[in-house]
């Protein structure tokens, strides 16, 4: 980039070639044993699209560039991991590729048993802090096991949602017990499919491109 500071204003395929493909080609010649293990590059398609406002077709272009490169540089040490909510157009792009990409496509649920344990841990720690800050007697069974189970199920391991719920209960203006009851009452009014899986759009497709 020091030699060509305008490269970031060039077309995407030129940036990919000059900033990724050619440098790694040079490294493979000068240091054939580096790296000793594959390097993983992770791209969260949903976050990039939401935060930076890229048009939808940038996903197609990037996946196409990586897919083509995977065919022509099969000994590259780079592995690419794409994370996205379920999107049929991405699957169709892979299916219609001129050169089928060497990849593994899998779906990971955010509400499996391990995710539920993580969510429950966050809630337990959060309520421990709330009880301490509000001088709630630890001998009181609050929140109850039934309340914790309902919150854990509704939150579905989306950790920033857990943080928002805990903040509402902790700093909502009323007693934490009343805030928790209001939160649970609201969740009870949500249709059952949403309660069991309110963030279903955040299920991830995992795209592994093996160079």
Q: What is the mean pLDDT of each run of 10 residues along the chain (211 residues)?
A: 76 88 86 81 63 58 80 79 66 60 68 82 94 87 92 76 90 90 82 44 43 41
Three-state DSSP state, 135: coil
How far is Cα 116 from Cα 154, in angstroms, rounded to an integer? 10
What residues have CB less than 8 Å from 10, skipping those under 6 apart?
A: 18
Q: Return the pLDDT at 51.
A: 45
Q: Return the pLDDT at 161.
A: 82
- Tracing tokens 């920033």 back to the chain, one arrives at 160
Q: Return the pLDDT at 41.
A: 85
- Tracing tokens 């309520």 back to the chain, one arrives at 127
How far is Cα 163 from Cα 142, in angstroms, rounded to an integer? 18
Q: Return the pLDDT at 137.
A: 84
What residues have CB less than 8 Å from 196, skipping those under 6 apart?
A: 111, 153, 156
DSSP H helical ranges for 4-144: 12-16, 22-30, 45-52, 57-72, 88-95, 113-133
Domain boundaries, the chain: 5-109+200-210, 113-196
Q: Return the pLDDT at 191.
A: 52
Q: Return the pLDDT at 170.
A: 93
What residues have CB less than 8 Å from 111, skipping those under 6 apart?
A: 156, 157, 196, 197
Specify whether the CB–CB gap between 83 and 42 falls below 8 A: yes
What residues have CB less than 8 Å from 156, skipping those under 6 apart?
A: 110, 111, 115, 119, 196, 197, 198, 199
How far is Cα 171 from Cα 115, in angstroms, rounded to an integer? 26
Q: Name the DSSP class of 148.
A: H
- CATH fold of the domain at 5-109+200-210: Rossmann fold (3.40.50)
C-alpha Rg value of the chain to the nearest Å: 23
**Which tokens hold the place of 206?**
């995992």
């Amino acid at each position: 980039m020091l030699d060509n500071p305008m490269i970031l204003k060039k077309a995407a395929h030129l940036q990919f070639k000059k900033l990724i493909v050619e440098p790694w080609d040079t490294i493979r010649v000068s240091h054939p044993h580096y790296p000793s293990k594959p390097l993983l590059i992770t791209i969260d398609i949903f976050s990039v699209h939401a935060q930076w406002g890229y048009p939808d077709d940038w996903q197609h272009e990037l996946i196409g560039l990586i897919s083509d490169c995977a065919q022509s540089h099969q000994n590259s040490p780079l592995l690419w991991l794409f994370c996205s909510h379920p999107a049929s157009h991405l699957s169709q792009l892979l299916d219609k590729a001129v050169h089928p990409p060497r990849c593994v496509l899998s779906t990971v649920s955010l509400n499996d048993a391990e995710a539920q344990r993580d969510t429950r841990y966050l809630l337990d720690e959060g309520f421990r802090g709330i009880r301490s800050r509000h001088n709630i007697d630890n001998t009181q069974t609050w929140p109850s096991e039934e309340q914790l189970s309902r919150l854990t199920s509704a939150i579905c391991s989306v950790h920033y949602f857990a943080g928002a719920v805990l903040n509402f209960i902790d700093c909502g203006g009323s007693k934490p017990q009343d805030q928790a009851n209001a939160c649970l009452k609201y969740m009870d009014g949500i249709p059952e499919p949403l309660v069991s899986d309110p963030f279903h759009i955040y299920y991830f497709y995992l795209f592994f491109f093996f160079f």
